[in-house]
Amino acid sequence: MTVRLPADDLALITSLVSDKKFETESDFVRTAVSDLLAQLFTPEQREKTLAAVSRLEGADISDFTADGSGAEDVLREALDRSMSDRKEF
């Protein structure tokens, strides 16, 4: 995952690291995310959401296409359409 932050935010985070409040910028981000998630999810909600996400991780892309075609077919069709649209110009 890549996270882009405004320069001012990064400067403030770096200042906290320099002041030894956090070991690294990554440590700050992990702590901030963990604290925010603890505020937004009750333990029960967290458990339920993580269970739902783990079920989706095992899902096949064809489960989400109308005709049941696989990811390769969907991608190939999108690329073919894109290339043929460009040829018309």
Residue extents of the structural domains in the chain: 7-40
**pLDDT attached to residue 76:** 74
pTM: 0.58
Q: How confident is the model at residue 89 (pLDDT cuts 50, 70, 90)?
A: very low
Calpha distance 60→74 (Å, rounded): 13
pLDDT of 19 strictly over 80: yes
**73 or 28: whose pLDDT is higher?**
28
**pLDDT attached to residue 79:** 76
Angle, helix 7-18 to helix 25-40, in steps of 10 degrees: 110
Instruction: Check: CB of residue 31 under 8 Å from CB of residue 25.
Output: no
pLDDT tens, position by position, 29-73: 999 999 999 999 999 999 998 888 877 776 665 655 666 666 667
Listed in sequence order, the DSSP H helices in the chain are: 7-18, 25-40, 43-57, 71-87
Q: How confident is the model at residue 18 (pLDDT cuts 50, 70, 90)?
A: very high
